[in-house]
Amino acid sequence: MPGANVIVLSQHVDYWNRLGWRDPYSAAQFSERQGSYAAAFRHDGVYTPQMVVDGRLEFVGSNITKAREAIVQAARLPKAKVQIELAPKAEASQSGAIQLTVRVEDIQKTSAGDSVEVWLAITESDLSSSVASGENAGRNLRHTAVVRQLKNIGSISVMKGATSFTATPVINIADGWRNDKLRAVVFVQERVSRHVLGAAMFGLVK
C-alpha cells in the first residue's frame, strides 16, 4: 500500500488440529500468542482468521476494507528504527546456523511504562498444504510469510532511559526450508499492550 511498508507474519495456531488434520505449520507457541492478544484486546476467546495490525487493531482477517484502514492508520504512527544485517564475517555453518546483527534506535515512549521486548521471526513464503479434514477439507491452501521460528532476542529498559538496542542472534535454517523464500523479521513490541513499536525485514541466504 502507498506510504506503508507492510511486513507480514503468518502464525498458524494449533487448536484446530483436534479436528483430525494437523496443520504442518502450526505451533502451540502461536496459539499462546493469540491468547495474549485476546487478553490485550479484552476478548473472551479467540477465532480465525484473525488479523492484528501493529498490535493495536484486530479484526476478521478476510475483511479487506478494515485491513486497508488499519494499515493506513498504523503507517501514520512514528516507529523505532530497526536494522538487520549479517554479522561481520558471518557464514552459514554445516548445521545451517547464521548470525545476524540487530540494531534498534529511536524507541518511542511506551504505554504507561510497559516493558519492551525484541522478537526475531524467520518466515517462509510460497508454501502449501492439502487439507484432509475440517471446513477446508479437500482444498489445497497457499501460504505466505509463514513463521517457521520465533524467539525473543532481548528486552529494552525504556523505563531506565534506554533508547537503543543491539544483539547478535544466531538463527538455524532447517533442512527443507527454501533459502530464496526465507526472511528474517525483527519487531519491537510492548509486552502487555502488544503494541508494535517498529519492525524490519531482511532476506536470508544459507
Q: What is the CATH number of the domain that holds 107?
A: 2.60.40.150
Neighbours of 111 (CB within 10 A): 13
Mean pLDDT of 112-128: 93
Is the pLDDT assigned to residue 12 strictly greater than 60? yes
Is the pLDDT assigned to residue 174 strictly greater than 80? yes
6 part of a folded domain: no
10 part of a folded domain: no
Task: Give the confidence band of 92 by pLDDT, cuts at 50, 70, 90.
Answer: low
Beta bridge partners of 186: 120, 200
Distance of alpha carbon 40 from alpha carbon 34, whole angstroms: 10
- Please state the domain count of the chain: 1
CB-CB contact of 147 with 30 (8 Å): yes
Is the pLDDT assigned to residue 117 strictly greater than 60? yes
1 part of a folded domain: no
The per-residue pLDDT for range 33-49, each reduced to its tens digit, is: 999 999 999 999 999 99
For 75, the domain range is 15-203
**Three-state SS letters, 2-64:** CCCCCCCCECECCHHHHHCCCCCCECHHHHHHHHHHHHHCCCCCCCCCEEEECCCEEEECCCH
125 part of a folded domain: yes
Distance of alpha carbon 30 from alpha carbon 145, whole angstroms: 14
